[in-house]
Amino acid sequence: MTQISRDDVLHLAQLSKLELADSEIDGLQIDISNILGYVEQLSKLDTTGVEPTYQVTGLGNVWRDDTVINYGISREDLLARSPKVVNFQIEVPKVL
């Protein structure tokens, strides 16, 4: 059965862009190990030659004309929802 180490938890958190509280790490380590242990039962199934199902309605790519659709929302409306806007641009801290 898959054992997830504390370092694995921290690595997964980093991949997921999540900072974890110290108090959460131990619990997540146990839960994630148990959940992965549970889902591993699928390895018993013989799926040789079986096609995967990514979606259920047989939908292919849906195309539309490359024109702007009016959704009835203005740029100002959307920008107003950002926590920090300067001169019609969203401000974030430095990347590096």
Partner 1 sequence: MTISEILTKIKDTSARAVVENSLKLAKDNQDYHALLSLTEGRALKRADEVDSGKISGKLAGVPFVVKDNFLAFGAPTTAASKILENFDAPLQATAVEKLEAEGAICIGKANLDAFAHGGSTENSAYGPTSNAYDKTRVAGGSSGGSAVVTALGVVPFALGSDTGGSIRQPASFNGVVGVKTSYGAVSRYGVVAMASSTDVIGSFATNVSDAEMITDIISGRDKNDMTTLPDFFTVQENVKPNQKIGLVKDFMTDDVDPEVRGAVNKYVEKLKLAGHTVEEVSLPMAEYALAIYYIIVPAELCSNLARYDGVRYGRRAEGVTTLSELYGKTRDLGFVTENKRRIMIGSYVLSSGYFDAYYQQAQKARTLLINEFNKLFETYDILIGPTAPTPAFKLGENTSDPIKMYLNDIMTVPTSLAGLPAISVPAGTNQAGLPIGVQLMGPMKSDASIFALAKSMENK
Interface with partner 1 by CB under 8 A: which residues?
Answer: 9, 12-13, 15-21, 24, 27-28, 31-32, 34-36, 38-43, 45, 47, 50-57, 59, 62, 71-73, 77-78, 81-84, 90, 92-96
Q: Smallest distance, Å, CB 66 to partner 1?
A: 15
Q: Smallest distance, Å, CB 53 to partner 1?
A: 5
Q: Measure the CA–CA gap between 3 and 24, rounded to whole angstroms.
A: 17
Q: Measure the CA–CA gap between 51 and 2, rounded to whole angstroms.
A: 26
Q: Smallest distance, Å, CB 6 to partner 1?
A: 13
Residues 4, 33 contacting (CB under 8 angstroms): yes
Neighbouring residues of 28: CB distance < 8 A, sequence distance ≥ 6: 9, 20
